[in-house]
Amino acid sequence: MYRVLITDPLSHHGIEQLIRAEDVEVIQKTSLSPEELLEEIQYADALLVRSQTKVTAEVIAAGKKLKAIGRAGVGVDNIDIPAATSRGIIVVNAPDGNTVSTAEHTFAMLISLARNIPQGYHSTIQGEWKRKAFVGVELNRKILGIIGLGRIGTELAKRAKAFHMDVLAFDPYLTEEHARKIGITQASLDEVIVRADFITVHTPLTKETRHLLSTEAFAKMKPGVRIINCARGGIIDEEALAEAIRNQKVAGAALDVFETEPPGEHPLFALPQVIATPHLGASTREAQENVAIDVSAEVLHILREEPFKNAVNLPSIPAELQEKLRPYQNLAEKLGHFAVQTVKGALDEVTVTYSGELSEVDTAPLTRIILKGTLSHYLSDVNDVNAPYLAKERNIRVTEQKMSRSHGFTHLITVKIRTDSSDTSVSGTLLNGLGPRIIKIGEYSVDVQPFGHQLLIRHNDRPGAIGRVGTILGDHRVNIATMQVGRRDVGGRAIMMLGVDKAVPEELVNALEQMEEIDAVTPIDL
């Protein structure tokens, strides 16, 4: 039974799938004190939050059973991502659920800013009728500059186009072809800042985007520009914005987010050109339900070890690529786990080579899985999330290579491992209808199923050696299920791979090593 702790208010309909799940116990406790959260998190397999709960490194360390943290929304500023990653905890969000709501709110702020709607409303209900005081501007043929063309930026661009605005967009991942497809113009950050009549930001808050719009940026803008932020507080330098409004460089600003929330007495609020809302971008019934539904489904997939897609601390994998790589995942992990058991010493380097068809796709997700299989021999609690982190922390060099040649196989994965005292390489592939196979160990060709208990024996190829090995195993009541022999020269050095029915006891290893023909015996558990 999985225990899911929910510490912020979430839509009941949104979490219904968790409540109905027979293998899940849902604990809803909102408004916990930091001390109460530390107590509750000890027993949770997953934690679901919105923006109120602060998931600190201390909270994460206390969550000994924690496998997943779900954020019902997009921003994860309240979650210590590095701490979660180092512990191998998957952090997921719901980037699609509030896309439309946030885009619509941004557009509402854009129109309100252009036509002074909040200011006109307040004046009118106070008994005034100041038509000339609230003259606005049309959106028609104005230039909207969008910084960050992700899901929300794209939805906003569509709405702006419907109002006959010219859209300039900057995004480091925006291609000219995609911009042309949605009818907008790709631009540099400077071009957006210099040319736009309205500028809206839709980026995450990072070290690179903090105070992206600063005194320097405002100086480049055209007089009378209007600024909108419904993304994250801190992307705009609020003091610089206030100064630019006072100097009449900026005609007005519409803000839904602030560096500190709630902002309290803020210098921007003293300026009549500023309109503000209390972080309402995702505050619609539909968005509240959608983000809860999305993140609940993701957490359920993680707990049940099923495929999931919105991990914040794992690179996003397109569905098409995920489908191509899925058949190789088991093979990848087994290769890493097999290879590391055949060497001795402290791990220095892992090199993964992809050959054949695999050389033509992004194989980074498979490399993470191989690394997980490798490190699991040394460490507990290692997974796809924290494997690269743990390797880097231990100064283990990880290299990925691609080769079009695959030595007669459609696809081939080779894992080379080097320690401070030895090295090895293991190659594997998928055989149609037969599944994963190890087809090479070092210089020796074999055909080994990478499952269960194995025994790798390095020996000299002499008559009777295999028979005597069988006899010794029989004497220790260990049954041989499969046998493969790899050799390069008759009478030379060779390897023997035995699949056996149970774990190999130490006394059996010692008995085999007493044979004159045998150089080394290595039990392998897969």
Residue 497 phi, psi (nearest 5): -115, 115
Q: What is the mean pLDDT of residues 61-70?
A: 95
Model confidence at 205, pLDDT cuts 50, 70, 90, reads confident
pLDDT digits (tens, 9 = 90+) for 252-292: 999 999 999 999 999 999 999 999 999 999 889 899 899 99
Catalytic annotation, pick one of 216, 261, 286, 513: 261
Q: What is the mean pLDDT of residues 385-401?
A: 85
Contacts of 264 (CB under 8 A, 6+ apart): none
Going by C-alpha positions, the residue among 378, 366, 304, 307 that lies closest to residue 341 is 378
Gap between the Cα atoms of 396 and 407, Å rounded: 29
99-276 to CATH, choices 3.40.50.300, 3.90.940.20, 3.40.50.720, 2.70.98.60: 3.40.50.720
Check whether 334 has a pLDDT greater than 90. Answer: yes
- Among 180-189, 203-212, 256-265, name the one with the lowest average pLDDT: 203-212
Catalytic annotation, pick one of 279, 337, 437, 459: 279
pTM for this one?
0.62
Q: Which tops the pLDDT comparison, 204 or 441?
A: 441
Gap between the Cα atoms of 353 and 425, Å rounded: 10
Tell me the sheet residues that pair with 134. none
Alpha-carbon 26 to chain mean position: 25
Going by C-alpha positions, the residue among 364, 396, 363 that lies closest to residue 377 is 396
Going by C-alpha positions, the residue among 434, 423, 437, 367 that lies closest to residue 399 is 367
* Pair 196, 225: CB distance under 8 Å: yes
Going by C-alpha positions, the residue among 193, 204, 314 that lies closest to residue 249 is 193
Mean pLDDT of all residues belonging to the chain: 91
- Among 123-127, 278-282, 344-348, name the one with the lowest average pLDDT: 344-348
Check whether 304 has a pLDDT greater than 80. Answer: yes
pLDDT at site 113: 98
Check whether 381 has a pLDDT greater than 70. Answer: no
Check whether 187 has a pLDDT greater than 70. Answer: yes
State which amino acid sits at residue 48: L
Check whether 77 has a pLDDT greater than 90. Answer: no
485: tokens are: 């022999």
Gap between the Cα atoms of 163 and 140, Å rounded: 6
Catalytic annotation, pick one of 87, 159, 226, 232: 232
- Among 95-99, 190-194, 217-221, 380-384, name the one with the lowest average pLDDT: 380-384
Model confidence at 316, pLDDT cuts 50, 70, 90, reads low
Check whether 195 has a pLDDT greater than 90. Answer: yes
Sign of the alpha-carbon torsion through 302, 306, 310, 314? positive
Q: For CATH 3.40.50.720, list the domain ranges present in the chain.
A: 2-96+286-314, 99-276
Kindly state the greatest CA–CA separation across the chain: 109
Check whether 318 has a pLDDT greater than 80. Answer: no
pLDDT digits (tens, 9 = 90+) for 10-26: 988 889 999 999 999 99
DSSP 348: E
Q: What is the mean pLDDT of residues 411-433?
A: 90
Q: Count the residues in the chain.
A: 526
pLDDT at site 461: 87
Q: What is the mean pLDDT of residues 20-41?
A: 94
- Among 212-216, 297-301, 486-490, name the one with the lowest average pLDDT: 486-490
**232 assigned to active site:** yes
Q: What is the CATH number of domain 2-96+286-314?
A: 3.40.50.720
Q: For CATH 3.30.1330.90, list the domain ranges present in the chain.
A: 318-449
Fold of 452-526: Alpha-Beta Plaits (3.30.70)
Gap between the Cα atoms of 421 and 343, Å rounded: 8
Q: Which tops the pLDDT comparison, 344 or 281?
A: 281
C-alpha radius of gyration, the chain, whole number: 30
**279 assigned to active site:** yes
Model confidence at 110, pLDDT cuts 50, 70, 90, reads very high
State which amino acid sits at residue 153: G
* Pair 293, 136: CB distance under 8 Å: no
Gap between the Cα atoms of 109 and 276, Å rounded: 9
Give percent of the chain with pLDDT exceeding 70.
99
DSSP 439-476: EEETTEEEEE---SEEEEEEEE--TTHHHHHHHHHHHT
Q: What is the CATH number of domain 318-449?
A: 3.30.1330.90
- Beta strand pairing status for 185-186 and 250-255? unpaired
- Among 159-168, 171-180, 510-519, name the one with the lowest average pLDDT: 171-180
Check whether 437 has a pLDDT greater than 90. Answer: yes
Tell me the sheet residues that pair with 400. 352
Going by C-alpha positions, the residue among 239, 297, 205 that lies closest to residue 4 is 297
Dihedral in degrees, nearest 10, Cα atoms 59, 62, 64, 67: 0
Element (H, E) at 107: helix 99-115
Q: Give me the half-sphere count of Cα atoms (radius 13 Å) on the Cβ side of residue 207.
A: 0
